[in-house]
């Protein structure tokens, strides 16, 4: 039993932090950079990707014994495309304004390397419940990056947070909107694509700094006993 | 007697970075004086704000990087960056414009890439592009040349408009920019671009009061001032002729051909040369030793590329002037240029 919990723990750690899809593997950068002009879009796309990722991981894992090795990639793409279509139709039906805001980037989830990458690297080699959990954690890690990036860009470029959250979460969410500050002239660059690259760079730098900081702290307590060298070289 | 081993180049004049940079900003003085004469004391205020921001932000970054602040202050590169950015933006822009631009130039473009000598992009121009993209209104609101302005603008009013947005009498920048005929005036390049796109001929467009005999009033002389400073730099061998020569040839030759075939709908080469930031860009911005190509042949290609891009963007692009974009685009190509123009060392093969 402890074996399985440690597997789940490792999967969560890998997906959320150590091997984070957005920050470490740098997969799926196209939607990551293109739609994160505010939190709502980031969260919407993140959740859509998360759903597709869980669905495709489970399916790929279930059929992994029946798929010939030579044609596995086309099969995986078909599976992913099916789930993307399902999610796209769902968003189109229930969250139409969000559907319009995300536009082409919902169908483009098919080409998100994160999903095919997890199918190939993990789901095609492991049992379905592990694969499902892996999809959940990888998707959550990706969503987290999208939300952070969207939040920073929304604050810098618009001075607000959760603007238009009602498109995603329903009418009650209009009260979520926070006006951090208001300026006459927003920093347009943060909203434009170059701003996404710059902010993304800072987030990655921040993660690396945090990792280095933790590594340095973990090393410190070991007291080194230095011995005076008494012989010549 | 000992023989010292030293890496090439073996002949060099022993100028420190500080001395080179000092020459660069001293050579800017004629242009800055002329710019102040035409566009008011705002130029000085912007330069001062940029310098203070650059020094403070550089000190902060060097402190974070655990390096001695004095080293960064002593090489004077931040001064050049700050002054170039300050004279590139409109003289009466609000104070936070230049502060944001300088902060971005020094902290993000220069120090995040590793400080002096490591940056990929020209800091001043990257800062300028950030401002131009983010705050298009402020960055295109150039004040009128003083001889066209209806309201005189003493120093106290200049300070007041930069820091509060209004003069002491309550005039806004927009009101100050209204000319004799009651129409807000654009810069010469902006006005030409707009008129030509409206199917006016060149001579009709040049009949507007912002144009003098040589080019745009003020702008032509500012460019002459920077040309003068650039010639001083050439004379002092701070810069080589390849980059400015390349920029001017790359801009003026296509411009001349285009104009000869299309004299009513194209800007004349003279106007190209004496408008916008042509001379400042050719002699002071493109020649940045860090972000330009290294070999003489490479510099020539680099200059031609910048000049050509300026012509293309000015003629068909979305912005009236293009020096900043052209320089940044050419900066990106520098590694490739350097790779293919690397001179062959003596005795190491190459052409027979």
The 10s digit of each residue's pLDDT in B204-248 is: 888 877 787 777 788 889 999 999 999 999 998 889 999 999 999
Candidates B97, B121, B134, B173, partner chain A, best to mutate (most A CBs within 10 A): B134
Residue B329, chain A, CB below 8 Å: the answer is: no
Nearest to B274 by CA among B252, B257, B246: B252
Q: Above 90 in pLDDT, residue B284?
A: yes
Where in B298-343 does DSSP place strands (E)?
A: none
pLDDT score, position B352: 54
Nearest to A51 by CA among A140, A113, A130: A140
Test A188 with B108 for CB contact under 8 angstroms: no
Nearest to B35 by CA among B46, B23, B22: B46
Answer for the pair A125, A9: CB distance below 8 angstroms, yes or no: no
pLDDT score, position A223: 63
Greatest extent of chain B over all pairs of C-alpha atoms, in Å:
79
Residue A3 lies in a domain: no
Nearest CA in chain A to B96: A185
pLDDT score, position B325: 93
Long-range contacts, B180-187 (Cβ 8 Å, 24+): B180/B148, B180/B150, B180/B209, B181/B209, B185/B144, B185/B148, B185/B209, B185/B210, B186/B140, B186/B142, B186/B210, B186/B320, B187/B140, B187/B142, B187/B216, B187/B219, B187/B276, B187/B320, B187/B321
Answer for the pair B130, B137: CB distance below 8 angstroms, yes or no: no
Residue A233 lies in a domain: no
Radius of gyration of chain A (CA): 21
Test B138 with A187 for CB contact under 8 angstroms: no
How sure is the predictor about B260, in pLDDT bands with cuts at 50, 70 and 90? very high
* Cβ atoms < 10 Å from Cβ of A34: 17
- For B223, phi then psi, to 5°, come to -65, -40
Domain that holds residue A144: 27-219
User: Structurally, how many domains does chain A consist of?
Assistant: 1
What is the C-alpha to C-alpha distance for residues A226 and A62, in angstroms, rounded to an integer?
57
Candidates A157, A183, A185, A191, partner chain B, best to mutate (most B CBs within 10 A): A185
Test B135 with A185 for CB contact under 8 angstroms: yes
Test A188 with B134 for CB contact under 8 angstroms: yes
Residue A14 lies in a domain: no
pLDDT score, position B308: 95
Residue A17 lies in a domain: no
What is the C-alpha to C-alpha distance for residues B301 and B338, in angstroms, rounded to an integer?
10
Peptide bond preceding B9 in cis form (omega within 30 of 0): yes
> Judging by DSSP bridges, how do beta strands A160-161 and A178-179 pair with one another?
antiparallel
* Cβ atoms < 10 Å from Cβ of B70: 10
Residue B305's Cβ-side half-sphere holds a number of Cα atoms within 13 Å equal to: 22
Token couple for B102: 């300088």
Residue A224 lies in a domain: no
- State whether the Cα torsion A148-A150-A151-A157 is positive or negative: positive
Residue A186 lies in a domain: yes
Rounded-to-10 torsion of CA B209, B214, B217, B220: 150
Phi/psi region, residue A232 (left: phi>0; alpha: psi -120 to 50; beta: rest), is: beta
**Digitized pLDDT (tens) for each residue of chain A, 233 residues in all:** 467 788 888 888 888 888 888 888 888 888 788 888 888 888 888 999 999 999 999 999 999 899 998 999 999 999 999 999 999 999 999 888 888 888 888 888 888 888 898 888 889 888 999 999 999 999 999 999 999 999 999 888 888 888 777 777 777 777 777 777 777 777 888 888 888 999 999 999 999 999 999 999 888 766 666 666 666 55
Least confident of A123-132, B189-198, B289-298: B189-198
Average pLDDT on B35-47 reads 90
Answer for the pair A79, A123: CB distance below 8 angstroms, yes or no: no
Residue B137, chain A, CB below 8 Å: the answer is: yes
ipTM: 0.78
Residue A2 lies in a domain: no
Peptide bond preceding B73 in cis form (omega within 30 of 0): no
Q: Above 70 in pLDDT, residue B29?
A: yes
Residue A78 lies in a domain: yes
Query: Which range has highest mean pLDDT (A71-85, B61-75, B169-183)?
Result: A71-85
Answer for the pair B305, B330: CB distance below 8 angstroms, yes or no: yes
Token couple for B289: 């030793």
């Amino acid at each position: 039993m402890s074996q399985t919990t440690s597997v789940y723990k490792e999967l969560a750690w890998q997906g959320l932090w150590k091997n984070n899809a957005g920050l470490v593997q740098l997969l799926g950068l196209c939607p990551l950079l293109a739609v994160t002009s505010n939190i709502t879009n980031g969260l919407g796309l993140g959740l859509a990707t998360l759903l597709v990722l869980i669905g495709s991981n489970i399916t790929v894992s279930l059929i992994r014994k029946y798929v010939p090795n030579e044609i596995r990639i086309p099969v995986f793409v078909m599976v992913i495309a099916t789930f993307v279509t399902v999610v796209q139709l769902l968003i189109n039906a229930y969250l139409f304004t969000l559907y319009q805001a995300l536009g082409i980037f919902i169908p483009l989830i098919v080409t998100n390397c994160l999903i095919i990458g997890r199918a190939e690297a993990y789901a095609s080699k492991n049992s379905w419940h592990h694969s499902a959990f892996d999809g959940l954690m990888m998707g959550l890690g990706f969503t987290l990056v999208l939300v952070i990036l969207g939040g920073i860009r929304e604050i810098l470029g618009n001075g607000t947070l959760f603007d238009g959250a009602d498109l995603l979460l329903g009418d009650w969410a209009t009260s979520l909107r926070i006006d951090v500050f208001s300026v006459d002239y927003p920093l347009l660059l943060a909203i434009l694509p170059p701003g996404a690259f710059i902010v993304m760079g800072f987030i990655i730098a921040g993660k690396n700094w945090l990792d280095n900081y933790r590594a340095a702290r973990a090393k410190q307590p070991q007291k080194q006993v230095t011995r005076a060298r008494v012989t010549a070289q | 007697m000992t023989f010292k081993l030293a890496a090439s180049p073996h002949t060099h004049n022993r100028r420190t970075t500080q001395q080179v940079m000092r020459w660069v900003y001293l050579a800017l003085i004629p242009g800055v004086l002329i710019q102040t004469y035409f566009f008011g004391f705002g130029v000085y205020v912007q330069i001062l704000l940029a310098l203070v921001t650059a020094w403070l932000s550089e000190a902060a970054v060097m402190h974070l990087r655990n390096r001695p602040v004095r080293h960064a202050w002593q090489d004077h590169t931040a001064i050049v960056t700050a002054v170039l950015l300050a004279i590139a933006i409109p003289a009466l822009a609000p104070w936070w414009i230049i502060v944001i631009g300088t902060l971005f130039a020094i902290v993000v473009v220069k120090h995040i890439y590793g400080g002096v000598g490591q940056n990929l992009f020209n800091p001043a121009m990257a800062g300028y592009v950030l401002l131009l993209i983010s705050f298009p209104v402020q960055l295109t609101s150039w004040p009128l040349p003083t001889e066209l302005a209806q309201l005189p603008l003493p120093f106290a009013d200049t300070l007041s408009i930069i820091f509060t947005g209004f003069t002491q009498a309550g005039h806004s920048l927009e009101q100050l920019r209204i000319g004799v005929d009651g129409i807000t005036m654009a810069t010469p390049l902006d006005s030409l671009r707009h008129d030509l796109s409206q199917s006016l001929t060149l001579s009709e467009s040049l009949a507007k009061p912002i144009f003098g005999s040589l080019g745009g009033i003020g702008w032509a002389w500012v460019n002459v001032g920077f040309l003068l400073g650039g010639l001083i730099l050439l004379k002092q061998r701070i810069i080589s002729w390849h980059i400015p020569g390349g920029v001017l040839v790359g801009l003026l030759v296509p411009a001349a051909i285009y104009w000869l075939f299309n004299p009513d709908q194209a800007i004349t080469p003279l106007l190209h040369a004496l408008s916008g930031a042509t001379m400042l860009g050719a002699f002071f911005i493109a020649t940045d030793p860090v972000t330009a190509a290294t070999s003489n042949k490479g510099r020539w290609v680099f200059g031609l590329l910048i000049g050509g891009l300026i012509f293309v963007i000015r003629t068909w692009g979305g912005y009236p002037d293009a020096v900043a974009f052209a320089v940044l685009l050419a900066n990106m190509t520098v590694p490739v240029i350097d790779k293919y123009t690397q001179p062959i060392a003596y005795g190491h093969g190459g052409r027979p």
